[in-house]
Structure 1
Amino acid sequence: MKNNNIRYVMLMVVETAAVTFLYLTIFPIFRQVITQLGEPQDISPYQQVAVAGGALVLQACYWVRFRWVAVPAPFRNALVRHLFLFASRVSFFFGGALFSVFFFRHVPELDQFPSFIQGAVKLLEVLLVLFSLFCYSLEIERLGRAKEDHSSASGRTR
């Protein structure tokens, strides 16, 4: 049981570091896209590799945890559990904003579309990042919901 908790904490630390890295890497790109709507953006190969690498690290940790490491129930406090559930929703706000900017504001205003291959690669990278942020939000939600069923039943009778 103790080894499981240590593995869980280590995986969550790496996942959180990957999410932080993604936010710090993507935010300047996101800001550039918003301030220059409709204009083609030059994203350096380094930035593209960094974003894809961060998302892949996040995915690897998520699926290792999902497959082999149980979610512990470290909190009995309902407020702390609710804060984790809130954090899981908030963590995906940026992903929703990113999706909205790229698909609803930016793409229709492009004067010149990239080649099919470039467009497909960029689309896959955006989807990878969105899916990674979604998985991270699920991970935080699972942590917030750990042992909720047992405590919520007893909490209603009080």
Structure 2
Amino acid sequence: MTSNNIRYVLLMVVETAAAMFLFLTIFPIFRQVITQLGEAQDISPYQQSAVVCGALVLQACYWVRFRWVAIPAPFRNALVRHLFLFASRVSFFFGGALFSVLFFRHVPELDQSPSSIQGAVRLLEVLLVLFSLFCYSLEIERLGRAREDHSSALGRSR
């Protein structure tokens, strides 16, 4: 295994751990928002910090990998590649559902929203999480397409 492959695997493990951490941290909050529609939801500073830290770790690993670590082409099996492509789409379903609930739940109440600064901070947190999940889904998709892209490049060079 090359040093590039080792770096890639380590970055993907940390990205996946950060994504799982985000899902496990956000899901109880998401469930609370869904089951208690119409009620103000208090998210503890610990939960907010944990979500931001998880998203920042995911972002850091993603951009390090994107900039300096090439994606290996590990899978020859088309079924495995398709499973990775499927996983990339599924991983973003949760982000879309979260955004939809927050948007449709809170946009009608903009006249009662917290101060501009608090609202901006919350909006930035949601966008950071959504962008992090989007980047993670792109990473999984690139992994699924790696052999396909590699094969296409080989076919053109012949």
TM beyond 0.5: yes
Counterpart for residue 71 of structure 2: 71
- In structure 2, do the counterparts of structure 1 residues 62 and 138 end up closer, same or farther at CA, with 3 Å as the change threshold? same
Please tell me the residue identity of whatever aligns with 2:123: L
Please tell me the residue identity of whatever aligns with 1:30: F
Instruction: Flag the structure with higher helix content.
Output: 2
Report Cα offsets for 1:99-145 as digits up to 9, x if no partner: 00000233315783111111100000000000000000000000000
CA distance in structure 1 between the partners assigned to 2:21 and 2:110 by the alignment: 28
CA distance in structure 1 between the partners assigned to 2:37 and 2:110 by the alignment: 8
Using the aligned pairs only, state the percent identity.
89
Where has structure 1 moved over 6 Å in runs of 4 or more?
A: none
CA RMSD in angstroms comes to: 1.8
Q: With structure 2 as the length reference, what TM-score do the two structures score?
A: 0.92
Do the aligned partners of 1:39 and 1:111 also contact (CA within 8 Å) in 2?
no
* Equivalenced residues, count: 154
Report Cα offsets for 1:45-104 as digits up to 9, x if no partner: 000000000000000000000000000000000000000000000000000000000002
- In structure 2, do the counterparts of structure 1 residues 119 and 89 end up closer, same or farther at CA, with 3 Å as the change threshold? same
Q: With structure 1 as the length reference, what TM-score do the two structures score?
A: 0.92
Do the aligned partners of 2:55 and 2:132 also contact (CA within 8 Å) in 1?
yes
Structure 2's unaligned 5+ residue stretches are none
Counterpart for residue 49 of structure 2: 49
CA distance in structure 2 between the partners assigned to 1:136 and 1:50 by the alignment: 18
